Amino acid sequence: MKIAVLLKMVPDLVEELEVDSTGKALDTEELKFKLNEFDDHALEEALLLGGEEDEVVALALEGEGNEKLLFTALAKGASRAVQLTGVQPGGSGEQATAFAAALAESSFDLILTGVQSVDDREGQLGPLLAARMGLPCVSVVTGVSVTDGGATVNKEYSGGVMAEFEVTLPAVLGIQSAQQPPRYAPVSKVRQMQQTATIESLTVGGAGGGAESEVTAMAPPEVGASAKMLDDAAALLEVLRGEGVA
Amino acid sequence: MGDHRYQEYVEKDDAVIDGIDVSGAWNRMWVPREVTEYDFTFLDRVTDLSGGESMGWCYECAECIGVCPVDNVGSYGPRKLYRKLQIGLDLFDHPDLWLCTTCRNCLRVCPKEVDMMQIMPAVREQAILNGNVPGELQEMLQNVAEYGNPMGESARKRMRWLKKFDEPVRDLSKEPGEVDVLWYVSDYFSYHPRGIDAAKAMVRVFNRLGVDFGVLGRNERCDGDSQRLCGETGLFEELAEHNHALFEQNPHERLVVSDPHAYNAFKNEYPKLTGTEYNVQHYTQFLAEKTEQLAGMFTGEFPRKVTFHDPCYLGRHNGEYEAPRTLIEAVPGIDFVEMFRCKEQGYCCGGGGGGMWLDGLTADHTFERLSENRVREAVDVGAEVLAVCCPYEVSRFEDAVKSTDNDGKLEVLDIIEILDSCLGDD
């Protein structure tokens, strides 16, 4: 079995986020990037699924910090790491197009990606990629088991409802959480990979993104009126009377 | 005993020695007892490691058990560990691996020099490489690897504690140049609210004394010593290379640190990697040299009963017991009282060797936190204030004061806070 895992760096929310001068995007000057936490779960699920015979390939778009990301994936146990070059940075649509181009060249049984990310809260990457490739897609997946020619996947709905899907392979899965917490990559292993392993490079060109939503404005949330703390039930009653509900 | 193998024996049917017939039951030889028949696989796996050798030297005298701070609140100690390894404990995948706080009290009394400070990191390193790392510890390691501090705070916010603080502090990342004292602030002094209190006190004391000092600002990263003791050797090396380069880039006469763990790292561990000796002092050592000057400057008193907790990494690991006491005793009006377990016999707060980030796991295998045990002792000697000089300890002991229902009875203060409180505003 051949499993692809799509990894990407996203803005790290420990830093203050600021909107740049265009008013449409984050100011990346002072931004730190980190691996999308859901992608980390996708990688973990792939590593848990992959046996000795299987191949787990980590793919990332070219970008700052992505080499370390891919070496870390190798240190965790991925069989190969591929960096896609020649891609213009863009939204989920452009990313989906780039990944689709890269994945079309080899026959993967499963393509795993994080269900969403801080810069893709709608979780579009997986569905758009599946649409580009003409493959089935299940999102918000919390468990995968591979059967003959297909896979059984658990999907989480709100309110604690779970569903089980049978899906034919190849398929794209948006992983919500792996069956185990993502493993630790010891720094010495990552360093060893940086010295001994090779990251493959694949040029996919800047194909058009197709239908894509456009950011028209970006702004920090407005600070609302602060909450008023009431002393006792009498004060609450007074407020309710003032609102005409008591 | 049932079918225990002790009952197996051999008898010589025909044993005549020097003409005397000794055959029969009374020449019965018991087959070798289990003591020589252990499966040494698991012990060998420890002693085969570089650093793990001394585990095999244990002759089970149990001197260590009497002084082990963890055994005091549970059932763990080097001798017990040796016994478990003999009878098949896989230490590489067992909670016992994470209980040792590397406080060094066992090595102090061990006639065979079984060295847990070498054994634990060696075995833990293999455990981490095999993916066996407790979740709470993994989070800390990832934070240090990603952000350079165990809290997972932004590296850029490392100097945020200086906001709304009027005292001058030279940030060498912005104002490079030579200083007399390069002050290594450390993680907890930079990010933890109570550590920040102590950091501000340090700045005020330095400034009152006219110390020419600078800090590394946002470039400073975790010293890595606790991560080394957790077995994350690669991370320690990365941090050591980073901090060493900063020390080289920022000319200074001496390195003064807030944290005994950093002191241990820079004094004993970094030189092994970098080949450089650092002129490093813990802040209590630096200030103890200035006791006379300080004494002339005190304007206030500290009329309270104070006891002192020796940090393992300043005391037992590095032999410094006097500097903190010199400072405490110099404080006007102070009533200093020792706890029974002090100096080389000092108890451990539980934070060393990764214990700082293993509270959940340790709680599952002990009946009381080490910090709680220590706080009770401080209360027992009648202290109103527990003085400390390790950034791990304020938060640990303050929590323990609350969890032992001693809130309001015992205050935990860093020595620098006590000194600062007596120096007044100018």
Identify the closest residue of chain B to A69 by CA–CA distance.
Answer: B146
pLDDT at A63: 85
List, in order, residues 6 or more apart from B8 with CB less than 8 Å away. Answer: B30, B31
Residues of chain B with confidence (pLDDT) below 50: 1-5
Q: What is the average per-residue pLDDT within A65-92? A: 91
Instruction: Inform me whether the pLDDT recorded for A231 exceeds 60.
Output: yes
Domains of chain B: 5-36 (no CATH), 41-129 (no CATH), 153-288 (3.40.50), 295-423 (3.40.50.10700)
Inter-chain residue contact A184 with B154, CB threshold 8 Å: no
Interatomic CA distance for residues A146 and A3, integer angstroms:
11
A183–chain B Cβ distance below 8 A for any pair: yes
Inter-chain residue contact A188 with B154, CB threshold 8 Å: no
Instruction: Inform me whether the pLDDT recorded for A209 exceeds 60.
Output: no
**Residue A64: Cβ-neighbour burial (10 angstroms; 0-12, 13-18, 19+):** exposed
Which range is most confident: A12-21, A208-217, B214-223?
A: B214-223
* Contact present, A45 and A144 (Cβ < 8 Å): yes
Residues 155-194 in B contacting A (C-alpha not used; CB under 8 Å):
155-156
Identify the closest residue of chain A to B157 by CA–CA distance.
Answer: A15
Inter-chain residue contact A187 with B145, CB threshold 8 Å: yes
pLDDT at B14: 75
pLDDT at A225: 80
Determine how β-strand A150-156 pairs with β-strand A137-147: antiparallel
Domains of chain A: 2-242 (3.40.50.620)
Lowest mean pLDDT among A42-46, A60-64, A213-217: A213-217
Cα angle at A96 between A92 and A98, to 5 degrees? 120
Q: What are the tens digits of pLDDT across the range A32-59?
A: 899 999 999 999 999 999 888 999 999 9
Residues of A within 8 A of B156 (CB-CB) are 15, 30, 32
B123–chain A Cβ distance below 8 A for any pair: no
Residues of B within 8 A of A34 (CB-CB) are 146
Q: What is the average per-residue pLDDT within A96-120? A: 92
A65–chain B Cβ distance below 8 A for any pair: no
Q: What is the average per-residue pLDDT within A11-32? A: 89
* b/e code A113-125 from CB counts within 10 Å (16+ = b): bbbbbeebeebbb
Phi then psi for residue A82, to 5 deg, are -130, 130
pLDDT at B378: 98
* Contact present, A110 and A171 (Cβ < 8 Å): yes
Is the CA virtual torsion B364, B366, B367, B373 positive or negative? negative
- How far from B374 is each of A18, B38, B216, B391, CA to CA, in Å? 46, 39, 34, 16
Rg of chain A over Cα atoms, rounded to whole angstroms, equals: 22
Report the mean per-residue pLDDT for chain A: 91
